[in-house]
Structure 1
């Protein structure tokens, strides 16, 4: 663990800062009050169950309260959202202003979750937040912006849309900019949009970059947007939680569904997230599990925002025990009760593994992660083991007992494929109908214009 300014010279020039920062002999006994958080926010922390600051919070909040820019690197599930939310809310209390802070997140689900954290922590001081993401109605978002929220949580693309198209909206009063999951923001090709946003917001501001993994792209962004930052690092570049038990299961590709069904039966009663590579595969697995009586709900990028939030809420509330998802669910989502993460498809990039398995063993809890390894995945597994610096253990399971399920699974696969084809046919027909309706509408408009032009000509002759 280290907490350091961006250079030794900067550290020496900030002599008061270092002295003011809590020293860590009894760091784990420190309270939020001890690290400078004001009373109203300490009470809010107690109400929502934050008993004591986590390591990233202990290391970064004192610097933030002194007005420094922060680069925060910490394991997923370590409390990064509160690490930037608490200093921002305290600064807002001291200097109330509309559109005080803007938080950019890579996914819509994460944006909603960050907003919930701000509203829970800021309820006692009257802080209001608005969420501006794609896939939702622009007009209702424009109305929300016209009410001048204190905190704006957004995805970069939709923020750019509003900056260009919403009359009277600007970020001139902005005092804080946060980029959460900064490496993911840049991996998703948001770079040009972020560059544009950086040009139109005040230079005199505080900037926080937070992520579980840092990349060279983030280093470039840091140079472009931060002033004399403090780098707060409470994990190695790639690391997983200490209480996370990590396993693999090795078998031929053709038995993949059978092993999944066996594992879900073994973990019956526990909550699990199953990660697959594509939207189609997520849908197929969800149908397969449901046909076998396993309560599963899909989450992927092709669903409408309402359906995505609905799926998340059903999983969070325990109405569904299994969430089958693409990597849209791998970043930042805080669902404390997840017991198991299954990598049905091993991710191609090792850091995506870090984020996926970070959905369990959060905030000091324990959890399990099981990766399915077929003859095609051995190299990917070895790469992950090299990156995280540990060998995965084999998950215990009797092959013969597992394969007894194969006949039932085969039938469930057949039913799932039939249902999947039916869904795809309905979607295709729906798109065709929508195209035809658009065409009819355009034709009727052009006919109306012709009639209108004809009437005008007739009128002028008369």
Structure 2
């Protein structure tokens, strides 16, 4: 606009200029020509570059700005079909560029349909199984769509933010990238949000989304979506199950598997090996591997979050010399996002993770993928090793297998076309950290608790696996595995196997112990002796009050159960009713409580346990009773005054009367003496009358004192006024009662009086008032008071100014005399 006064044109902001040009470009685009080019596109034609595809200008600019030039195999086959509106089932190896294979069709199809702005509604929905994968897809969308100038509004719905804020922003979104749970929550609770205008539905890592863990959420989301839509499913291991396809309402889907005919299901530049190591040696091998690969970027997979946390905390205390990180599903979203960002930016680091990081995450330049725990199936293995050797880079993967898992796992990998070779560990470079972990667990009760939970979580993860050809719990050395974690023994586990499991559970404890003693015959009928417990065993069994919880007590083994093999799946019933039934809380938990205080009924012939500890009684002055000393701790307590206070009687405060007789501070009057004084009501009236008389007498005394103070103040004021009339005010002397003159005047009264004078009176008083004279010092004469040097120490009383050395000596002798 032009200013009428200056006739100058106000410059337009660059941001508004760019926005206007984008809108003009969008309005001026020839949608019909673009649609005709898409119709003429032959999906069977081989396309190598993005410039060969009929894409809009903003998409081409975004791809150019993000440095995407050449199409991958899955992109070359999937994008032309998706641009034509076909439903797709896409399967390709990890790291092959599946994200762009569905993001580019989303941008192009919505661009041609002019699905822009709040009025257009929701046009595309992308569902990912994990939050980290959803965030990664959203970043790629911003990189391609944002740099190119697309005006579609996109949002990320993964939780971790206030629900109300997402509700307010959801109504204007054209593209939504979400997780199943959060999207279902908005579809069912946000009234202003509907998906009636949805044109495209994308499921990334579809096999993971369609499994039992997300089946209910996906079924509920599908019910809210229109049936007339385009559906794209992408994964590294795709599914063809008819039930899944029917539930997603796919219409004649195109199945694309660019690597189906390949000889390998994993990237060709990925070197895969496995190490045959017992369960008890896995942590030793892992530590030795990290020590030999400090200058690498390592991703370590484990089966449970508790294992990840224990290994991370233990290795951090041992300081391996490399940056350590850990991620699992129990962490908050902000922490998980921060950890993934740190690991992606790091050049040398080690990340301990569960399968939450096994799907779709793109960590650049990962050198090693180490699987400490065997994956549940071959598909999980493929996704784990897919974190390395991405985009034609080289990578290495190592799998730790127990001897009982080797045969079954290798058979599953062979069926999936996964080549893997066995390697051995150099014994010279292998280190044992069992003693170090035991020392750490002994010193840190919380780390010991984490080790116990890691043990039970691993045992449970093996127990619930469906493939029993691979996972055989009875063939694993659980006792040795507990020792490798730094534990003195294997914690008790509550699951059972066998036909007599129910009978064993309901057997009374006493009968069960008798049957154990009768059946446990070794060496010619001799009963098995109880295991000798050392002082270290008793140290590990101490109850730590700072971390003691219900979960911790369930991990403790009872002394009388030491003869039961740790790998056996028998489990004694808990102490409860006469049938040996445990309480409901114990039955629901995974672990069993095995700590029990023996009673007289558990002892033979109801004999009491003799207490052989030395005892002695110590009498202390002021103590209520003699103190029993039966331990060194009790004997040490005698030297602490603070500890002995609870044994001593509390002192009483006394007051002395006029005769010097001591009485308690609060002493009750004798009841007979109180009644002899009269009725309580009359005593109360007499007390009030006496108190009133005392107050009146005190009031008279106070008035006399106040009158005397006023009189003294008047006299001081008169003296001050008289002194002013005689000439000059005296010097101010600061005393205990305030600032006063030497002649007894009040400085504050003078200040008030001066403040009440008018300006003219103050000027006259200042003009008439003579200048103050400086008080003479003790060493000055009357003649030297106004001298040039102010009468300083050089002019002493009775002495002339010294001129020679002899004069100075005489002056010094006089001062000494």
Q: Which of 109, 124, 131 is residue 91 of structure 1 equivalent to?
A: 109
Q: Matches of 1:84 and 1:367 in 2, distance apart?
A: 26
Distance 2:435 2:283 in 1: 11
2:79 counterpart of 1:61: yes
Partner of 2:376: 348
Name the residue aligned to 1:73.
91
Kindly indicate which of the two structures has a greater share of residues assigned to helix.
1
Give the superposed CA RMSD: 2.7
Task: Point out where structure 1 has 5 or more consecutive residues left out of the alignment.
Answer: 1-15, 430-462
1:153–1:260 Cα change, 3 Å:
same
Q: CA deviation at 1:287?
A: 1.6
Task: For residues 82-123 of structure 1, give each alpha carbon's deviation from its aligned partner in whole angstroms, at most 9, with x where no partner exists.
Answer: 000001111222223242100111111111111111111110
1:132 equivalent in structure 2: 157
How far did residue 282 of structure 1 move?
A: 0.6
SS at match of 2:428: helix
Name the counterpart of 1:337: 365
Seen in structure 2, the aligned counterparts of structure 1 residues 415 and 149 have a Cα distance that, compared at 3 Å, is farther
* In the alignment, structure 1 residue 149 sits paired with structure 2 residue 173: yes
Partner residue of 1:102?
125
Q: How much has 1:259 moved relative to structure 2?
A: 0.8
Match of 2:355 among 321, 327, 352: 327
Q: 8 Å contact 2:89–2:238 — kept in the other structure?
A: no
Q: Equivalent residues in 2 for 1:117-196 (5 A)?
A: 117-123=140-146, 124=148, 125-146=150-171, 148-196=172-220
Matched, 1:201 2:225: yes
Partner deviation per Cα, 1:178-232 (whole Å, 9 max, x = no partner) = 0111110022432222222222212222110111112354x42223421122111
| Partner in structure 2 of residue 435 of structure 1 | none
1:216-227, aligned counterparts within 5 Å?
A: 216-217=240-241, 219-224=242-247, 225-227=249-251
Aligned residue runs from structure 1 range 355-366, under 5 A: 355-366=383-394
Q: Please name the residue that 2:655 is paired with.
A: none
Q: 411, 419, 433: which one pairs with 1:383?
A: 411
How far did residue 37 of structure 1 move? 3.1
TM-score, scaled relative to structure 2: 0.47
Structure 1 residues 49 and 336, CA, compared in 2 at 3 Å: closer, same or farther?
A: farther
Equivalent residue for 2:420? 392
Residues 37 and 87, structure 1, Cα contact 8 Å, conserved in 2 = no
Partners of 2:355 and 2:53 lie apart in 1 by 35
Alignment partner, residue 324 of structure 2: 296
In our comparison, the structure showing a higher alpha carbon Rg is 2
Task: Pick the aligned partner of 1:20 from 28, 42, 49.
Answer: 42
1:152 aligned counterpart, secondary structure:
strand
Deviates more, 1:353-362 or 1:394-403: 394-403
| Equivalence for 2:401 | 373
Alignment partner of 2:104: what SS?
Answer: helix
* Partner Cα separation in structure 1 for residue 252 and residue 401 of structure 2: 45
Provide the C-alpha distance between the structure 1 equivalents of 2:139 and 2:341, rounded to a whole number of angstroms: 13
Please tell me whether the aligned partners of residues 41 and 80 of structure 2 are also in contact (alpha carbons under 8 angstroms): no
Rate the CA distance shift 1:33–1:415 in 2: closer, same or farther, 3 A.
Answer: farther
Rounded to whole Å, the distance in 2 between the matches of 1:65 and 1:44 is 17
- Listed one character per residue, the Cα deviations across residues 232-284 of structure 1 (whole Å, up to 9, x for unaligned) are 11123981111111011122222211111111122222211110000100111
Structure 2 alignment gaps of length 5 or more: 1-37, 116-120, 454-545, 551-817
Going from structure 1 to structure 2, the CA distance change for 1:297 and 1:199 (only over 3 Å counts) comes to same
Check conservation: 1:342, 1:370, Cα contact below 8 A. Answer: yes
CA contact (8 A) 2:314 2:447 kept: no
TM alignment of 1:242-321, pairs within 5 A = 242-291=268-317, 292-293=319-320, 294-318=322-346, 321=349
Q: Would you say the 8 A contact 1:245–1:369 is kept in 2? A: yes
Give, in whole Å, the separation in 2 of the partners of 1:209 and 1:305.
26
Deviates more, 1:235-244 or 1:262-271: 235-244
Question: What is the CA distance between 1:171 and its match in structure 2?
Answer: 0.9
Separation in 2 of the partners of 1:18 and 1:96? 21
Whether contact under 8 Å (1:106, 1:188) holds in the other structure is: no
Larger mean CA deviation between 415-424 and 286-295 belongs to 415-424
Q: Which has the higher contact order (CA 8 A, sep 6+)?
A: 1
User: Kindly tell me: are residues 336 and 266 of structure 1, through their superposed partners in 2, closer, same or farther at Cα, counting changes over 3 Å?
Assistant: same
Shift of 1:413: 6.9
